[in-house]
Amino acid sequence: MAAAVARSGFRRMFSISAFAPPKAPIPPPKADPSPNLFISGLSKRTTTEGLRDFAAKFGEVLHARVVTDRVTGFSKGFGFVRYSSVEDAGKGIEGMDGKV
């Protein structure tokens, strides 16, 4: 009798019906538009001036900076660009997205 009670208790503890299905993930809210852009995938030879010149094709650039290694002075492969307006930043995103 004790064995039967132990088995039924074991089944109740590990019953699949006791678990609820996972809830659908809630998508994160969209970010507010900003004139500041993070640029990644840059060559090690990219300079701040080169990034500024390339980004200026899509709008007025207020500030551009390539992050460099302290020892070698080469680019770490990413940088930042600040445009004068959100519209220029949007053009920059469209123009630079996926470019080599």
What's the whole-model pTM score? 0.67
Q: Is the domain 30-96 a CATH 3.30.70.330 member?
A: yes
Q: What is the pLDDT of residue 100?
A: 57
Using one digit for the tens of pLDDT, what is the confidence trace for 70-94? 999 999 999 999 999 999 999 999 9
Q: What is the pLDDT of residue 4?
A: 54
Distance CA 79, CA 40 (A): 6
Q: What is the pLDDT of residue 90?
A: 92
**What angle is formed at CA 55 by the lines to CA 89 and CA 36, rounded to 5 degrees?**
35
> Tokens 């990219």 map to which residue?
46
Shortest CA distance to 39 belongs to which of 61, 21, 19?
61
pLDDT tier at 53, thresholds 50, 70, 90: very high
Domain ranges of the chain: 30-96
Q: What is the rounded average pLDDT of the residues 27-51?
A: 92
Strand-by-strand arrangement of the 61-68 sheet? 36-40, 75-83, 61-68
